[in-house]
Structure 1
Amino acid sequence: MLKRIALLIVTAMAMFGFLAVGPAAAAERAVLGGGSGILLGGEAMCTLTTIGHDNAGRLVGITAGHCGEPGMAVEAPDRQDLGVLGHMVAKSRELDYSVIEFDASRVTPVNRVGNVTITGIGAPASFPAIVCKEGLTTGNTCGVVWGDLLQSNETWTQMCVIEGDSGSPVVLGTTLVGMVNAYVGFACLGPELGTNIDVIMGDINARGGAGAGFRPI
């Protein structure tokens, strides 16, 4: 009887040990898309404009240039436990955009965040169209397009934006037409000023490297 009991104990321990060293659960990923909040360099809170793949297959995203400097780590502000998700790799001060290269093993890219869905990239919107954005701070807001008031690279709208919304995707329906860069005068009262996405993509393609040939998810 004692031998049988011992055999049962050894068998149970062996089974437990087998289960304990089984395949580990897959690491949790951050879900990111145009409109997701991002944290750069552990300090700057901004919004991702869009995410997708470039012509080299890299998972890349776009945000406002003034949010950080190349080399800065990118995290999800509400899920810092997931660690570093990527790094800023390029920046244009003139057009105020930056390119982020994400670790594809840590990020699940999506084309819808909140009330904004991105299915493609298009030309700037014109008066009196209504465009919308999804931002880290003010969420989903919409407003009339005033148009190109200063130069062909920028479009002014009447959307509500404040700090943290920098980089937010500006969409006409489901077409990405711009990014949020600033507001004039007072937050949510003065007009929003943003760079046209076709200009940004043209500059990225001309420079080559990360982001060239970008295609949104």
Structure 2
Amino acid sequence: MLRVLRALGLTVLLASMSLVAAPSASADTRTAIGGGTGIIFRLQPTPEEHKGYYVCTLTAVGRDSAGNLVGLTNAHCFIDEHGNKLVGDKVYRDASPAGTAAAPAPIPDSRPDLETGAIGTVTYVSTPNNLLSTGPKGLDYAVIKLDESRVAPTNTVGGVTITSIGAPPANGTRMCKQGHRTGLTCGIKLGTHGIWFTHLIWTDGGDSGSPVVAGQTLVGNAWGAQHSSPILSIIDEMNANGGVGAGFHLAS
């Protein structure tokens, strides 16, 4: 997560009647999003004339047991300076090009996709990781109810394709993440640290929430300091909480 003003540590066809064929009625004009898509939010003073904002990355897009299209990212993206959880916040797709480890996406270039409009609303914010504080330790995830009239799920973003969900692999196994700020980076799993797992995958501000995958299996969300929360633990907690996100599974 990063705010443009200070670091937190962390993109009309006109058809004439006879000369241009009308588009197919079945054409899907929604914006594709998935694990690894950049998001932008907390736009001040307005999305159209923003001077300050925050950016993160989606962990995954799926459906819950009620059929809602749901996006996941990090909780700390939606906790303000006073500790308030920003349930109800609107989320936009970050229309700026994704970066790479060698050439990170410039934060000042981040911009909301105003053509698509707000893609969803935050419905739940978990306890954040609090790794560097004395606060309670959490899985650090947020649930976003997506607007299916505006966005459609994709299982491939950048260099990562997600086809299944599973547990973190054995220590020493190579894993990768896809983040909007630094793109595809990889490293081995190191071990566990409390409720989290640790790895040597590079992340930077704006990559918070990135999907961590072993092959094409989603195993966790990245939130900095080479830590991630297991996706199966996140799903278990969403199921226990009920509401939007409960019964989460990858969108087909």
Where do residues 1-217 of structure 1 align in structure 2 (5 Å cutoff)?
Answer: 28-42=29-43, 43-68=53-78, 69-78=86-95, 79-93=113-127, 94-148=138-192, 150-151=193-194, 153-183=195-225, 192-217=226-251
- Tell me the matched-pair count: 190
Q: What is the Cα deviation at residue 209 of structure 1?
A: 0.3
Q: What is the Cα deviation at residue 27 of structure 1?
A: 8.4
Indicate the RMSD between aligned Cα atoms, in angstroms: 2.1
Unpaired segments of 5 or more residues in structure 2?
1-15, 44-52, 79-85, 96-112, 128-137
Normalising by structure 2, we get a TM-score of 0.71
Match of 2:105 in 1: none
Instruction: State the secondary structure of the residue aligned to 1:81.
Output: coil
Q: Which has the larger radius of gyration?
A: 1
Instruction: State the secondary structure of the residue aligned to 2:224.
Output: strand
Q: What is the Cα deviation at residue 81 of structure 1?
A: 2.5
Q: What is the Cα deviation at residue 29 of structure 1?
A: 2.1
Structure with higher helix content: 1
Unpaired segments of 5 or more residues in structure 1?
1-15, 184-191
Kept in 2: contact 1:125–1:147 (CA 8 A)? no
Q: What is the Cα deviation at residue 30 of structure 1?
A: 1.8
Offset from partner CA, 1:87-130 (integer Å, 9 cap, x none): 11001112210000001010011011111111111012221100
Q: Tell me, in whole angstroms, the C-alpha distance in 2 between the residues paired with 1:181 and 1:36.
A: 15
Offset from partner CA, 1:157-181 (integer Å, 9 cap, x none): 0011000000000000111001001
Q: What is the Cα deviation at residue 39 of structure 1?
A: 1.0
| % identity of equivalent residues | 44
Q: What is the Cα deviation at residue 216 of structure 1?
A: 0.7
Q: Tell me, in whole angstroms, the C-alpha distance in 2 between the residues paired with 1:89 and 1:179.
A: 18
Equivalent residue letter for 2:77: C
Equivalent residue letter for 2:249: R
Q: Tell me, in whole angstroms, the C-alpha distance in 1 between the residues paired with 2:237 and 2:203.
A: 25
Offset from partner CA, 1:52-93 (integer Å, 9 cap, x none): 111100000110001112111010110232111111100111
Q: Tell me, in whole angstroms, the C-alpha distance in 2 between the residues paired with 1:211 and 1:51.
A: 10
Q: Tell me, in whole angstroms, the C-alpha distance in 1 between the residues paired with 2:244 and 2:87.
A: 12
Match of 1:187 in 2: none
